Amino acid sequence: MWQRDVQTFLSSEEDDIVWMKKEVDLIVRWLVEEEQQRTMISMMGMGGAGKTVLVTKAYKNKLVKKHFDCSACASVSQTLRIDEVLRSIIKQFLEATKEVVPNDLATSDVGDLRQLVKRHLKSKKCLIVLDDIWSMNYWNELSVIFPDYRCGSRLVVTTRDRDVAFAAGEGSRVCQLQPLHPKEALDLFCKKAFQNKPCPSELEPLALSIVKKCQGLPLAIIAMGSLLSLRDANMLEWN
């Protein structure tokens, strides 16, 4: 259910969502800076904070797409397989530059895949998003694959781990997502639950209780609001 709600939210044309716009604008600004050094941008926060949603919004931004020669987004998660991550990145790079995917890509080893990635990084301004890096072990495995050739490339990471977020050291950018304030959380919930209509007064106490249990996490709020939008708006159903 959560993934479906996130995809529905991503397809929305509403770019003025209160909990999202400021952070998206910040990431976009960092991405299109003219600094030639390869910069790492980290989006840090607990599960459900909306890291993937925010980064995806920035990744799809028209200004960002125009700024880079090629871009790729790969999910890492807890089941890291470097070869799968690299194949995904290479395919997206080749698609962006309208190059033919090699017939032996599916059987290429990690060494060959690294060389293909580096070939792009040496000559192009690339954007790489690594979504959901869980630990420093995973980061150490991946970080050496993306050297800095000073072509203006950007490496974006989402993580729950503070050490990963600050791993790049000086020159990196870190955006730490905080839980929503109560009013922002309630506004987001009502937007989903009542499809932009006001919350009925008799349901306000229950709405506040539900939002409180979501602990300010946008994806939990979106999921609950979307679920309740399918139910009758009365005390019996909501209880």
Per-residue confidence at 236, pLDDT binned at 50, 70, 90?
A: confident
In the structure encoding, which two tokens stand for residue 173, read together?
A: 């950018």
Residues 72, 88 contacting (CB under 8 angstroms): yes
Residue 11 pLDDT > 50: no
Residues 24, 32 contacting (CB under 8 angstroms): no
Task: Output the pTM of the full model.
Answer: 0.82
Sheet holding 126-133, edge to edge: 70-75, 126-133, 154-159, 39-44, 173-176
Residue 155 pLDDT > 70: yes
**How many other CB atoms are found less than 10 A from the CB of residue 5?**
19
Distance CA 89, CA 205 (A): 47
The alpha-helical segments, DSSP class H, found in the chain are: 2-10, 21-31, 51-59, 62-67, 82-96, 110-123, 136-143, 162-165, 182-193, 204-213, 218-228, 235-238
Q: How far is the CA of 31 from the CAs of 37, 169, 187, 215, in angstroms?
A: 12, 17, 29, 30
The mean-pLDDT minimum among 10-14, 48-52, 91-95 falls in 10-14
